[in-house]
Structure 1
Amino acid sequence: MDHVDFITAQWARERPDLDVSAMGIIGRVARLYLSYQEGMQATFSRFGLNAAKFDVLATLRRAGAPYRLSPGALLQATMVASGTMTNRISRLEAEGLVLRQINPEDSRSLLIELSAEGLALIDRVVEGHVATQAQLLAAMPDAERTAFKTLLSRAQAAADQAVG
């Protein structure tokens, strides 16, 4: 019996009229998310980053050469508020990991670009990140991982449909 089982058993005892099976699933997903975040944050910390900084650097890296995007494209790719993104960019710029460039196609706008240092760093960090993620799932056989991915995708679609 794990912690989620303990909680749902308490609810079943106290409110047997309620079906708390969804609570058990969502509770486990939440706890799993926290475990994954803890493992990944340990990797980011080894490189002097946090998840927010990693997110911006990784988004720029995934964009491909010349590793630059508009602030709006960064906002869309990371789904954070404008003020939050401005703060992240400013911090990364102060650390020499990104550069603000005038957009050559529209001098009224800026582009955010990985600096050479930022590119070298994110390439090292993403290698560690991928290794950490593999380690977090290493105890699951490939068939279970495939099934888990499929079920998570279906669960996400169901949740999106329920709220949207």
Structure 2
Amino acid sequence: MEDIVEAMQPDSIAAIVDQWKRERPELDATPMLVVGRLFRLADTLDQRLRAPFAAADLGSGDFDVIAALRRSGAPHSLSAGELSRTVLVTTGAISKRVDRLEARGLVSRSVAEADSRGRLITLTAEGVELADELIAVHLDNQRRLLAGLDGDEQSQLAGLLERLTSALAAGE
């Protein structure tokens, strides 16, 4: 844990930028102050958010599937394609995750009424219960991780990240 905290020190990114200023003064390395910190922050957040899912014996990304099904509303069913678009991974990755979740009794597969070739993935009652339990833990964990910022700062950061995301998406 100390390694994570040490790697997260903002001065470590500033030190890298300072080194580049010294070695290549003609280059502007200041974008690293944002991008480098975002990368380190994403890694740290991922590590700190994963523990409750691991404790529930969920693999990486499994919670994303049950959460997507849960928030889709009753009957908590989506096709593999819909899950893929919602969770932002390939249908192959969805299939592997659904296999694991189905083996645990958290989801079931059924033939889609509208298209007999299609399959619907549905959250079981046990899956709904686990999703409800874990989302509460997950949100509490996120609140704890953001406690270093007040409400206005969190809103400002959310807005800035939304703007950056939109700008990057527009540039694709």
> Normalising by structure 1, what TM-score?
0.94
Q: Is the 8 A contact 1:96 1:118 kept in 2?
A: yes
Per mean C-alpha deviation after superposition, the further-off stretch among 52-61 and 38-47 is 38-47
Correspondence for 2:148 = 139
Matched, 1:156 2:160: no
Structure 2: which amino acid aligns with 1:157?
S
- For residue 152 of structure 1, report the CA deviation from its aligned partner: 1.0
Structure 2: which amino acid aligns with 1:105?
A
Correspondence for 1:52 = 61
Matched, 1:6 2:6: no
Q: Of the two structures, which has the highest relative contact order with CA contacts closer than 8 Å and spacing of 6 or more? A: 1
Other structure's SS at 1:45 match:
helix
Deviating runs (4+, > 3 A) in structure 1? none
Matched, 1:113 2:126: no
Paired with 1:49 and 1:32, the residues of 2 have a C-alpha distance of: 23
Q: Following superposition of structure 1 onto structure 2, how do residues 1-164 of structure 1 map, counting pairs within 5 Å?
A: 2-162=11-171, 164=172
Q: Is the 8 A contact 1:92 1:98 kept in 2?
A: yes
Q: Is the 8 A contact 1:41 1:50 kept in 2?
A: no
Paired with 1:30 and 1:130, the residues of 2 have a C-alpha distance of: 21
Other structure's SS at 1:16 match:
coil
Other structure's SS at 2:61 match:
helix
Correspondence for 2:3 = none
Q: CA RMSD in A?
A: 1.3
Per mean C-alpha deviation after superposition, the further-off stretch among 111-120 and 48-57 is 48-57
Quote the sequence identity (%): 39
Question: Deviation per CA, 1:92-124, whole angstroms, max 9, x where unpaired?
Answer: 111111000111232222100001111111110
- For residue 36 of structure 1, report the CA deviation from its aligned partner: 1.2
- 5+ long unaligned stretches in structure 2: 1-9
Over 3 Å counting, the alpha-carbon distance change for 1:157 and 1:125 in structure 2 is: same
Paired with 1:5 and 1:129, the residues of 2 have a C-alpha distance of: 31
